[in-house]
A = this chain, B = another copy of it.
């Protein structure tokens, strides 16, 4: 089996690692505009050789893991270059614009719209980790638009990688993901900003930071090049969730200003049930 990974970073590189494990005879081709990343991927044995689009007709499986703005530009070109049996899947954090862009593509049936809910705050080939997808959810959109044979082969691979599958339409995906992923990133980035802005004058502040602070700002280490286009493509949903979050923070501030400690206590008690909810989430073990 020939697998082409377009964009060989954390996501694509982790797919390469796991596919090599479950399909020992696979040959992995790396495609990337970043020559340094390609060399790194080769030296880490994530890929067997470097390639470009001219060889895409040799591909059985193409995994596209690049920023979502580049995805919209590149996926139509990739779909042109494949053979009739190739499966092309993406790993984009947004789905509406990507699916819309490809809806009338002549090879739409070779494409499977995916969002594997997995990752870390790091990026690049050296961030790739084995077993990243074990037990994680892979959201597939518009499954009915993918040819049956391609569906079947992709699902077989996902099962081997240990992924749970959920089907969803692109609009529902983008709406929900704004709450459970995009908002967390903004919350984290702005928390980091608030504290860093303060720290300019008060150098000692970070001596006082503990693991709770680290946990809430962890996502502020994420790649701006990857996240800016995600926020752009999911603009409406992100604005809505952000508005609700700001509203809740204002409510908390108002309760504090009005010395309504019973209200504060009750809000926290109600939110404590996040414990049970989180118990259902498959997490990275690292």
Contact = CB atoms under 8 A, between A and B. Distances in A.
Interface residues of A, number: 95
Contact of A232 (B168, B228, B261): B261
A190 interface: yes
Oligomer copy total: 2
Given A216-B187, A216-B216, A246-B246, A238 B256 contact: yes
A110 interface: no
Interface stretch (A8-16, A71-79, A97-105, A218-226): A218-226
B212 A184 contact: yes
- Report the 8 A-B pairs with minimum CB-CB distance, sorted nearest first: A224-B268, A180-B209, A184-B216, A192-B274, A117-B210, A190-B248, A211-B284, A192-B271
Interface of A: 117-121, 136-137, 139, 166, 168, 173, 176-177, 179-181, 183-199, 202, 204-222, 224-225, 227-229, 231-232, 235, 238-239, 241-246, 248-250, 252-253, 256-257, 259, 261, 264-265, 267-275, 277-278, 280-281, 283-284
12 contacts: A136-B210, A180-B208, A183-B194, A188-B216, A196-B277, A198-B241, A215-B216, A224-B268, A225-B265, A229-B261, A242-B249, A249-B249
